[in-house]
Amino acid sequence: MDYLLSGAIMENASVTKVWTRQEIGALIIRNDRAVERAMVSLWEKQEEDERTDAVARHHNGRGFAHWSVGSGTYFANWVRSGRHLSGKHLAKARKIAMYHVGQLTRMANAKAETNKEQK
């Protein structure tokens, strides 16, 4: 399940909106749930062995960068367990999401395109 496109983003995905980096960045800045969805979406893009070990082994431009994989995996698992990020954890997750805004934008647009093709 791709969490990035649930909620606020998914409302507009049905009309196959093309998202820009600025729009995704603004959403991450103002919406705490978008930050949480970003953590889970990036975690889902990690290779299986990277998810298990919380290490960035593959330099494939997917998932977390090497400096954010430990925290990002922790945050994603926290959110996947049904809890919300807050305080310094939310602030750090927001920084991680902003660093990956280009990848998140590509993911949002790919998901919107997939939804368009299925209709």
The pLDDT value given to residue 62: 77
The one-digit pLDDT tens for each residue of the chain (119 residues) are 344 545 544 444 455 789 999 999 999 999 999 999 999 999 998 877 666 666 666 566 778 998 999 999 999 999 999 999 999 999 999 999 999 999 999 999 988 777 666 65
Q: What is the pLDDT of residue 119?
A: 58
Q: Model-level pTM?
A: 0.78
pLDDT value of residue 48: 74
CA torsion, points 114, 97, 51, 63, in degrees to nearest 10?
Answer: 50
Predicted pLDDT of residue 1: 38
Q: According to the model, what pLDDT value does residue 86 have?
A: 98
What are the E-state strand segments in the chain?
none
Question: For position 63, what pLDDT does the model report?
Answer: 87
Burial class (CB in 10 A: 0-12, 13-18, 19+), 35: buried
C-alpha angle with apex 83: 10 to 7, nearest 5 degrees?
Answer: 10
The alpha carbon of residue 76 and the mean position of all alpha carbons in its chain are separated, in whole angstroms, by 9
